[in-house]
Amino acid sequence: MTDLSILIPARNEMFLARTIQDILEHAESDFEVIAVLDGPRDDARDYGWAEPPIPVHERVTVVHFPESIGQRAATNVAARLARGKYVMKVDAHCAFDQGFDRKMLEDMQPDWTMLPVMRNLHAFDWVCEKGHRRYQGPSGPCLECGGPTVRDVVWIAKTSPQSTAFRFDNTLHFQYWNEYKEKQIGDLVETMSIQGSCFMASREKYFELDLCDEKHGSWGQQGVEVACKTWLSGGRVVVTRKTWYAHMFRTQGGDFSFPYSNPGKAVKQAREYSRDLWTNNKWPKAIHPLSWLIDKFAPVPDWGNSWGVVYYTDNRLDPAILDACQRQLKKSVQSHRIVSVSLEKMDFGDNITLHLERGALALFRQILAGLEELDTDVVFFAEHDVLYHPSHFLFTPPDDKHYFYNTNVWKVRMSDGHGVYVDDCKQTSGLCANRLLLLEHYRKRVKMVEENGYSSGMGFEPGTHGRADRVDDVKAEAWKSEWPNLDLRHEGNLTRSRWTKEEFRNARYTAGWTEGRNFPGWGSLHHLWRKI
């Protein structure tokens, strides 16, 4: 076994030989190079067999497929032949730092994907007989004298830019992320995504995660695929600033364009497959959803607002109900931050303990403390005796000027599992809104209660009435999640439970009245309790 196998898929790559020669000159580990020539060899120069030839060397293996099998398939062929503990996929038009491989291997971990700092490669100029030079691009006559030009390979790794931060937008399209570079401190830094022209992984992880899944098609989405599979399986994507590689970017024209036919169609196909795989969380080996990755690097441009949860409890709830609701909340929220505010210390989320007597003012102070601690754009409220369905947290407030209530909720009686549903049930446990908007509201609310005491006219739900003792004039709007939340009613509820229409003074609050014992998305309380 060797330390490292360098995999190079190549089709119509005029700089393949120069890339391999560069590796041989600068690699310092026990390495091998496996180049897969993907397609007909009609023009020897396309593969570097002439001017110059691919180096004949004991560390270099060349595999040729007379008919193209595709870039991902070619990379997988090389990986299956690899003898290294680690594999490193590189494009066939790259230059490298001295000892790049050794510097990476010294820090590499089995569950990481690692890449060096990415520079731009100045591979060649066009030069005329009079010595005029034109930077690499499409061929053609000299722009100064009109004379014919020839390609002069210079092979210079430019020192600027030096890219270490990459992401993808909400269409899963690769983007550079220069703003994030300010957050990257140290020699080993994390990046949300990668560019795809150079990355290292353990050979074991390469196959375990299927880092070149041929279902994507031949071309496109390589960086997104590798990054998502690494992060969402529990690994890390790391850039080492201790070394670099330089990549030549394809230019307009036929001299160094995309080597596969219909690149636009291929990329579209790959992106459609990728979007379905990641945005719908269909990859079976993921231990995190895509939202986890977005939140880890939040705020990510194009991905909307970050969100978290303020959870509050008076610590008087039956431990069995408390535990069940906490388990369900953690399952529904996944990796999003939960700030718990309790009247006694507890081990749940990021806990804040307020030593207060149970009551309306204590509740408002708890919520305010949670809002002040949380650092997200959007906040969901969570009460200790509500079972929250994952679909509840898929909502994104359309603006930051309203309070939004999820009215898809069943009130379920714990004593017998009987439930009641009404159409317009706005309650604090279903509230979601912009954090700064809520923060302003609860600061005013706490101050009003501290100065004047709590009155029933104020109510508990922001924005749901226009009475004189309202806190502000912000309006509330309603939305419904795909599946309901279950508000568990028991002897210790702070607010009153109503189980018949006659208990409501206003009949409009009973619109859509439905009773039952089986709840959409959940089943019966008895079945649900056994499952939890």
| DSSP secondary structure string for all residues of 363-411 | HHHHHHHHHHH---SEEEEEETTEE--GGGGG---S-SSSEEEE--EEE
Answer for the pair 4, 31: CB distance below 8 angstroms, yes or no. yes
* Lowest mean pLDDT, pick from 29-43, 137-151, 279-293: 29-43
Contacts for 295 with CB less than 8 Å, ≥ 6 apart: 306, 335, 336, 337
* Closest among 108, 492, 109, 120 to 315, alpha carbons compared: 492
Per residue in 430-468, pLDDT (tens digit) is 999 999 999 999 999 999 999 999 988 888 999 988 888
Q: At what angle do helices 222-232 and 263-279 cross, to 10 degrees?
A: 20
Length of the chain in terms of residues written: 532
When pLDDT is cut at 50, 70 and 90, the band that residue 493 belongs to is low
Residue 186 CB burial class (10 angstroms; 0-12, 13-18, ≥19): exposed
125-129, 496-500, 505-509, 522-526: range with highest mean pLDDT: 125-129
Query: Strand, coil or helix: what is 272?
Result: helix
Q: Which residues pair with 2 in a beta bridge?
A: 84
| Spatial separation of the C-alpha atoms in residues 110 and 102, rounded to whole Å | 15
| Spatial separation of the C-alpha atoms in residues 265 and 267, rounded to whole Å | 6
What is the predicted pLDDT for the residue at 379?
96
What is the predicted pLDDT for the residue at 504?
77
| Spatial separation of the C-alpha atoms in residues 463 and 344, rounded to whole Å | 30
| Spatial separation of the C-alpha atoms in residues 197 and 119, rounded to whole Å | 11
What is the predicted pLDDT for the residue at 229?
97
Answer for the pair 282, 228: CB distance below 8 angstroms, yes or no. no
When pLDDT is cut at 50, 70 and 90, the band that residue 47 belongs to is very low
What is the predicted pLDDT for the residue at 262?
58
- CB atoms inside a 10 Å sphere around CB 347: 7
Task: Tell me: pLDDT of 84 over 70.
Answer: yes
Please list the residue range(s) of the chain that carry CATH number 3.90.550.10: 2-121+156-250
**Rg of the chain, C-alpha, whole Å:** 30
Looking at residues 75-93, what average pLDDT do you find? 97
Q: Are strands 149-157 and 338-342 parallel, antiparallel or unpaired?
A: unpaired
Peptide bond into 55 cis (omega under 30): no
What is the predicted pLDDT for the residue at 43?
43
Q: In 9-86, where does DSSP find H-type helix?
A: 16-26, 44-47, 71-81
What is the predicted pLDDT for the residue at 52?
67
Of 264 and 285, the structure prediction assigns the larger pLDDT to: 285
| Spatial separation of the C-alpha atoms in residues 348 and 334, rounded to whole Å | 14
Assign residue 202 a region (left: φ > 0; alpha: ψ between -120 and 50; beta: otherwise). beta
DSSP state string for 123-141: EEEEEETT--EEESSS--S
Query: Strand, coil or helix: what is 508?
Result: helix
What is the predicted pLDDT for the residue at 295?
85
Q: What is 2-121+156-250's CATH superfamily?
A: Spore Coat Polysaccharide Biosynthesis Protein SpsA; Chain A (3.90.550.10)
Q: What is the pTM of this model?
A: 0.62
Task: Tell me: pLDDT of 356 over 80.
Answer: yes
Domain boundaries 307-531, corresponding CATH code: 3.90.550
DSSP state string for 65-98: ESS---HHHHHHHHHHH--EEEEEEE-SSEEE-T
Indicate the helix (H) or strand (E) that contains 352. strand 350-353
Query: Strand, coil or helix: what is 228?
Result: helix
Angle, CA 284 vertex, CA 279 and CA 285 arms, to 5°: 105
| Spatial separation of the C-alpha atoms in residues 350 and 340, rounded to whole Å | 6
Per residue in 389-399, pLDDT (tens digit) is 988 988 889 88
When pLDDT is cut at 50, 70 and 90, the band that residue 403 belongs to is very high
* Closest among 65, 43, 95, 37 to 254, alpha carbons compared: 43
* Closest among 63, 81, 87, 297 to 209, alpha carbons compared: 87
When pLDDT is cut at 50, 70 and 90, the band that residue 527 belongs to is confident
- The DSSP letter of residue 48 is T
Per residue in 161-208, pLDDT (tens digit) is 999 999 998 888 888 998 899 889 999 999 999 999 999 999 999 999
Per residue in 19-33, pLDDT (tens digit) is 999 999 999 999 999
What is the predicted pLDDT for the residue at 479?
93
When pLDDT is cut at 50, 70 and 90, the band that residue 48 belongs to is very low
| Spatial separation of the C-alpha atoms in residues 245 and 90, rounded to whole Å | 10
Q: At what angle do helices 360-373 and 435-452 cross, to 10 degrees?
A: 150
Cα–Cα distances in angstroms (integers) from residue 413 to residues 178, 327, 450, in the given order: 54, 20, 34
Answer for the pair 102, 3: CB distance below 8 angstroms, yes or no. no
Torsion sign across C-alpha atoms 523, 524, 530, 532: positive
Task: Tell me: pLDDT of 45 over 70.
Answer: no
When pLDDT is cut at 50, 70 and 90, the band that residue 532 belongs to is low
Distance of CA 166 to the CA centre of its chain: 12
Cα–Cα distances in angstroms (integers) from residue 461 to residues 239, 437, 438, 446, 451, in the given order: 47, 14, 11, 14, 20
Answer for the pair 77, 214: CB distance below 8 angstroms, yes or no. no
Amino acid letter, residue 522 = W
Task: Tell me: pLDDT of 506 over 80.
Answer: no
Assign residue 262 a region (left: φ > 0; alpha: ψ between -120 and 50; beta: otherwise). left
